[in-house]
A and B are shown apart, each in its own frame.
Chain A
Amino acid sequence: MSLFDNFKDPELCKALLDRIHKELDGELRFMEVCGTHTVSIFRSGVRSLLSDKVVHLSGPGCPVCVTHDSEVAAFLELAGRNAIIATFGDLMRVPGPDKKSLKSAQAEGARVKVVYSPFDALKLAQDNPGDKVVFLGVGFETTAPAIAATVKVAREQGITNFSVLCFHKLVPPALDALVGDPELKVQAFLLPGHVSAIIGVEPYRFLAEKHGLPSVVAGFEPVDILQALHLFVTMRNEGRAEVVNAYTRVVSDAGNPKAVSVMHEVFEPADALWRGIGLIPGSGLTVREEYAAFDAMRVFGMELKDVPAIKGCRCGDVLKGKLSPDGCPLFGKACTPAAPVGPCMVSTEGSCAAYYKYKV
Chain B
Amino acid sequence: MVHETIAATNAVVTLDVALPGIVWGWIITMNMWAKSIGTGIIFLGFFLLKKYPEQTGFIRFPIAAISIVFIHIFLFFTVIDLHQMFRFWHIFFYPHLTSAITIGAWMATGFVGLLFGMAYAIYMKKDEALYDKLLGWTVLLAVPVTLYTAGLMAQSTARELWQMPTESAQMILAALLAGTSAMILLGGNKFSDTIKKDLAIILGLAAAAAFILYMAELIFGPMKAEEVAAVLHYIKGGEYTVMFWIGQAMAFIVPMILVCLSLKNQSYYLLKIAAVSALVGLWVSKHVWLVIPQLLPMS
Asked whether A and B interact, the reply is: no
**Interface residues, chain A, CB within 8 Å of chain B?**
none
